[in-house]
């Protein structure tokens, strides 16, 4: 079964850091671009970042550029998001999604930034 499973969320103070992971299974991870999308409580979807299959192309939303870093390890079938200098407005459920078509989504991991 094709699956994505996020982990690494939690409660962090403003200015702190967190590293999210997304474990992929059931498909050839190295063949697909990957994405992070977030959803603040009660709000809509916001694209955060994308990475190509070989990591050669990386894109970020302006709201996270310079603070977040997307990466992947194709040998471990895993996608990551290093989140630094976190702000209250980064509080959201973070989803990983497969490919340019966003065709498979994980269940999400909650990140709460609060003092």
Partner 1 sequence: DIVMTQTPLSSPVTLGQPASISCRSSQSLVHSDGNTYLSWLQQRPGQPPRLLIDKISNRFSGVPDRFSGSGAGTDFTLKISRVEAEDVGVYYCMQATQFPRTFGQGTKLEIK
Contact 78, 101 (CB under 8 A): no
User: Which of 8, 52, 91, 104 touches partner 1 (CB under 8 A)?
Assistant: 104
User: Which of 102, 110, 113, 115 touches partner 1 (CB under 8 A)?
Assistant: 102
- Tell which positions 7-26 bind partner 1, by CB under 8 A: none
> What is the b/e burial string over 80-114, where b = at least 16 CB atoms within 10 angstroms of the residue's CB?
bbebeebeeebbbbbbbbbeeeeebebebbebebe
Nearer to partner 1, 37 or 111 (CB): 37
Burial of 57 (0-12, 13-18, 19+ CB in 10 A): exposed
- Tell which positions 35-94 bind partner 1, by CB under 8 A: 35, 37, 44-47, 50, 59, 61-62
Cα 32 versus chain centre, distance: 15
Nearer to partner 1, 7 or 17 (CB): 7
Rounded least distance, CB 89 to partner 1, Å = 17
Contact residues for partner 1, defined by CB under 8 A: 35, 37, 44-47, 50, 59, 61-62, 95, 97, 100-108
């Amino acid at each position: 079964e094709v699956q994505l499973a996020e982990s690494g969320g939690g409660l962090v103070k403003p200015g702190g850091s967190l590293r999210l992971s997304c474990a992929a299974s059931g498909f050839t991870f190295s063949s697909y671009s990957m994405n992070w999308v977030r959803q603040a409580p009660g709000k809509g979807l916001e694209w955060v970042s994308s990475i190509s299959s070989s990591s050669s192309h990386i894109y970020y939303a302006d709201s996270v550029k310079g603070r977040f870093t997307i990466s992947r390890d194709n040998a471990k079938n895993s996608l990551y998001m290093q989140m630094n200098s976190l702000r209250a407005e980064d509080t959201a459920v973070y989803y990983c999604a497969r490919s340019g078509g966003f065709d498979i989504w994980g269940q999400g991991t909650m990140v709460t930034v609060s003092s």
